[in-house]
Amino acid sequence: MSRFILFWLVVFMTLPVAFATEQPKQMESPVEYDTEMTDQFFEVDKWSSPWWIIERDDGSFEDTTGQITRREDIPRLRHTAECRTEHQIPHMINFSEARQINKDTIEILIHDESASTYDDLTVIVKNGRFSSHYKTVSPVAAANAGLIWTTTKQRLVLNKKHYEKGDVIRGRIEFECVEEMKEARNGRKHIHTIRIEGRFKPPLQ
């Protein structure tokens, strides 16, 4: 069996399974504004390789998919978020995207690019108010009837009220939700809190 096939076999066997459980209506809060977001994160870009590239201390690398052999061919990913969470394991969420839904609504997605963690926080901004919608996957999927996330705390600060396509959205987020997991076999519920806090700077698509 080739290393490429073996790698993806292990990935598919160990990846958690996502659920399409209907989620509750989430709370809305007013957006705050700060035109002076000029700290180093917003001014200096950081880059990294995709999660499937292993960087070694001696400067060499390994492509676990077996496709890339030259360093110059490795994709470089720009970090557009710097958000901390302790969900699953303590880690940083380094990526975000933003798109214009309509003239009044912007969707901001803060997400992982990793094989070991999966956090997906969608923030909907409309007419000076916003709501936060979280989802993830469970490592014990076979035992679960579904996952429900209810936002319990949120704070969003943006650098201005109106954006045009191509503008970089500078923002800070504080988010907390309760995750409820129900076991299919006995109906037992497991509840814990997930927190995400940090900054983001995606260009508006």
**Would you state the pLDDT for residue 147?**
86
Q: What is the phi-psi region of residue 69: left when phi exceeds 0, alpha when psi lies from -120 to 50, beta otherwise?
A: alpha
Query: Which residues, other chains included, contact 53 with Cβ-Cβ below 8 Å and sequence gap of 6+?
Result: 61, 62, 63, 64, 68, 74
Predicted TM-score (pTM) of the model is: 0.81
Of 56, 184, 163, 43, nearest to 99 by C-alpha is: 163
**Would you state the pLDDT for residue 4?**
42
**Would you state the pLDDT for residue 138?**
61
* Segments in the chain below pLDDT 50: 1-20, 143-144
**Would you state the pLDDT for residue 70?**
78
pLDDT digits (tens, 9 = 90+) for 102-159: 999 999 999 987 656 678 999 999 999 999 999 987 655 554 457 899 999 999 999 9
**Would you state the pLDDT for residue 129?**
98
Q: Are 29 and 154 in contact (CB under 8 A)?
A: yes
**Would you state the pLDDT for residue 11?**
43
**Would you state the pLDDT for residue 73?**
78
